[in-house]
Amino acid sequence: MILYEKIRKCIRPALALGFAGCLFGGVAAAESAPIPPEIVVTAATKALTAAESSIQPIAGTWYEADVPNARMLTIYADGKYEAVCKNGSKSFGVVMVTAEVHPDGSKSLWYSFYEEGGLNLEDEGTASPWFSVYKSAFALRAAFPKEKNAAVQTDLRSGHDGAIHFMRDPKDVYHATSKNVKAEDYLGVWAYGRCYATVSRDKEGYRVELQWANSAAEGSRWIYSCTYNSYSGLMFSNNDGTRIDYIYTDDGSGTDNTVYDDGKAFFILRDGKLTWLDTKENTGDGLELRKIPQ
């Protein structure tokens, strides 16, 4: 949860939206696989590729369509969501892509919304309305089909019946936070203290290499294959980042030790500062790097 708050500070506008009782009904029978430990991730969901598991196509602000009292929904690039009902009731939670495997071996992908908790308006219409706090322990509240190969999704219809229908807000407050941020702006060498990061093009995506020296003879390197999302204006790596610890001796020899190869990270460029958010070990604690002039 600490990571979510750091991303919130980096990329979120000053919104106080929530989601209270707004996504009940029309829930598809998707596999349960939330990020928090309260719900177990299924094998099918764990096997999804980075592109399949990305929620970036739905990051942004949405409104409920075809109803008189439309509800608002905000989905952030870190996987959290907040929404608000017309009466002020709010709730929040996480959204992730889950896999539903069919008897013939094919699969369907769903954006599954797991509610953490929120506020309910009580005694509405009386002289003394009040809000009650509740916790949902990340219960599955709704699921929407993920469109195949869609860079930006503009329509969300729940389950197989489409009982809940959301469309993108034309004003889209979230999109404004990434205004004027381009993939090319990430390219180059960045530094803060003993930490250096190099961002370069790599085949169809991008490669981010970081080096953090504990001394002249030892330190760590991180290597991430990243995807740039033009909608949210950030780079992310899903479950394929590598950390290597190295030690060099006076005679020029050295040893490398691969600590892990399943790291995940976000790289967020705002106001000339590159923030590295490591979800594997929380390395750097939201470190902000500055570009070195070339």
Tens digit of pLDDT for each residue in 178-213? 556 788 899 999 999 889 999 999 887 899 999 998
pLDDT (0 to 100) of residue 25: 31
For the chain, give the mean pLDDT. Answer: 78
pLDDT (0 to 100) of residue 203: 81
Residue 256 has pLDDT above 50, yes or no: yes
Task: Tell which wins on pLDDT, 142 or 171.
Answer: 142
Mean pLDDT, residues 233-238 taken together: 80
Secondary structure (3-state) at 290: strand
Please report the DSSP string for the chain in residue order.
Answer: -HHHHHHHHHH--S-----SS-S-S----PPP--SSTTSPPPHHHHT--HHHH--GGG-EEEEE-SSSS--EEEE-TTSEEEEE-TTS-EEEEEEEEEEEE-TTS-EEEEEEEEEEEEEEEESTTSSS-EEEEEEEEEEEEEEEEPPTT-SS--EEE-TTT--SEEEE-SS-HHHHTTTT--GGGG-EEEEETTEEEEEEEETTEEEEEEEEESSSSEEEEEEEEEEEETTTTEEEEEEEEEEEEEEE-TTS-EEEEEEEEEEEEEEEEETTEEEEEETTT-TTSSEEEEEPP-
> Domain limits of the chain?
2-176, 183-291
Residue 164 identity = I
Structure tokens at 12: 């979120």
Phi (first) and psi of residue 165, to 5 degrees: -130, 120
Instruction: Say what the pTM is.
Output: 0.54
Mean pLDDT, residues 216-242 taken together: 84
Closest by CA to 185, choosing from 290, 92, 84, 284, is 290
Euclidean distance between CA atoms 16 and 250, whole angstroms? 56
Give the pLDDT band of residue 258 (cuts 50, 70, 90): very high
